[in-house]
Structure 1
Amino acid sequence: MKFTSTESYVATEDLSLAVDAAVALERPLLVKGEPGTGKTELARQVADSLGLPIIEWHVKSTTRAQQGLYEYDAVSRLRDSQLGDERVHDVANYIKKGKLWQAFEAEGRVVLLIDEVDKADIEFPNDLLQELDRMEFFVYETGQTVRARHRPVVIITSNNEKELPDAFLRRCFFHYIRFPDPDTLRRIVEVHHPGIKEALLTAALTRFYEIRETPGIKKKPSTSEVLDWLKLLLAEDMDPADLKADGKSALPRLHGALLKNEQDVHLFERLAFMARRAER
């Protein structure tokens, strides 16, 4: 099974090799990169490309590793016991299966996405080491051991919000999704906006990379944001000449799709002001 680009996702050669290597090694693939570079979508496309179902576990700041295994609802069991419910005699009725359990008991191989692992507490990755390594865990309430029927393809994403433990990193195959170069970005745009006029695309990407490389910019626009921007440009039937920076305003047209905080908006306003002063 080899992963390649799909109809809706452009994978570079090194990314395809990273996916294939992780599958061959039977290790989780840890994917890092700027927000908006397609890390989460990668897992979905890998599942589609390999013809496998996907189970998604989206991690939040309050997520605990135990939730990925199972949760025991003792409160519901106590309430049912007070009401005389017969279900209380079987503790399994109060076990809620987590995403890892679902992946382990699946009839066939699945892709398991653990999305934005760096959002959780620093101990979260370490708490999953044994389960991801041995592909099994013990359920204390029922006394059973849950083992993976088929080792899932595990893809873990991180936005680099915090450092991950060395012991966790050692068990993963790592890949950093670099921001696409102009040629790759053109291929990505063609997937999402087929038939876009060459002159408009060239002008838009030239302006986009100028914005990304502006010194002092706090939040560089990402791949997903340039796709949104191009969608707006097409909807407004913009001309390539409309996208060029001028002395009146350094802000790009429809800049709300690209600049996501007031500091960056003020930065481009100051640049325009300085340009006007220099012309006098």
Structure 2
Amino acid sequence: MLNCASPFPFALTLCAAGLCLTAPALARPIPGQRVQVSAPCLNSLHVVTDAALSDAIDLRGADPAALQSSTAPDGTITLTQKGCPAGGNLELHTPAAMPLAIDSPQATRIVIDNRSGPMSIRSGSGAIDIGRSGPIDLASDSSGAITIGTLAGSARLRSTVSAPIVIHQANAPALAVYLAGTASLSVPAGTLKALDINNAGQGNASFGGTTGVAALHVQGKGNISVRKATGTLATERDGAGRIDVNLPPPSTEQQN
């Protein structure tokens, strides 16, 4: 069974005292191997995949107030804000494969273009929209809707208050999801090797594709439905919610 206990494997504690080079003015581009955005009070964040960049990031437009950059010896670029200035929009350009960590829970909107590198995200009350995603670790303890166009890498997703999670297509090795509160999960289609859903809340979780291994656990009133599981199936019910697996295909009959 997959483990959802560690939501931030890529969001490491960075820049121990004396180990970072802090730039008072943000030079462009900024060379590095990975990037972490720790700007909790941004208004909006747009992460743009830029094929022209290699081992570097670039910032476009006006910098948000009090934004600072530091680079650790291992090549980790950290973007932070001093204090919590109101507003501010950040457009961040990176290579598609660069590891990305985001901790901006107050942002009203986060948009992330198609990516292949690993991502670690803490989201908040603002909506987050991701195009094509590689490996991703995402946690929400708020209400902002989470949308992923195509999931192509293994994912661990955790929504503990009310944020709905929608993945339009999941073609990935593994997907592990933990839900609580009124949070919900909807994955209409896809193919997985392993699916792990732990639903401790009142919202429903549905996967409309095919998975090999399925580990499904209900602890609350919310239901879990899985269209098809072809391999090992493990279910556990500690709550009132239902677990439905290997459902019949949708009717294709046309009404006269």
Q: How high is the TM-score relative to the length of structure 1?
A: 0.25
Please identify which structure carries the higher strand content.
Answer: 2
Q: Which has the higher contact order (CA 8 A, sep 6+)?
A: 1
Structure with bigger gyration radius: 1
